[in-house]
Amino acid sequence: MQVGDLVKYIGHATFYKGRVGIVASTYIGLGEGLSAQVHYPGIAGEGRDRAGLGQVHDGLHPMGPEELEIISASR
């Protein structure tokens, strides 16, 4: 997974089911490897991007690798 990849959410959270987004950045997460900050159009400030406990992601949603399927890899 790399910046610019088009991804589909395949995890368990109902809010994100079937949503398609673009990987904006990657980082080493606590889970199963490289995690991603994903931009999902139209849901800024919602879901995992909402403010709370000091977490503001500015339109980006943190996702684990097991939650994402790459639809189209960037070059």
Q: What is the pLDDT of residues 19-69, one digit of tens each?
A: 999 999 999 877 667 899 999 999 988 888 888 766 666 889 999 999 999
Task: Copy the structure tokens of residue 72.
Answer: 């189209």
Residue 6 has pLDDT above 70, yes or no: yes
10 or 28, greater pLDDT:
10
Q: Which domain holds residue 55?
A: 6-72
Would you call 4 exposed, middle or buried from its count of C-beta atoms within 10 A (0-12, 13-18, 19+)? exposed
Cβ contacts of 10 within 8 Å, gap of 6 or more: 67, 68, 69
Domain assignment present for residue 29? The answer is yes
How many independent structural domains does the chain possess? 1
Domain assignment present for residue 1? The answer is no
Domain assignment present for residue 25? The answer is yes
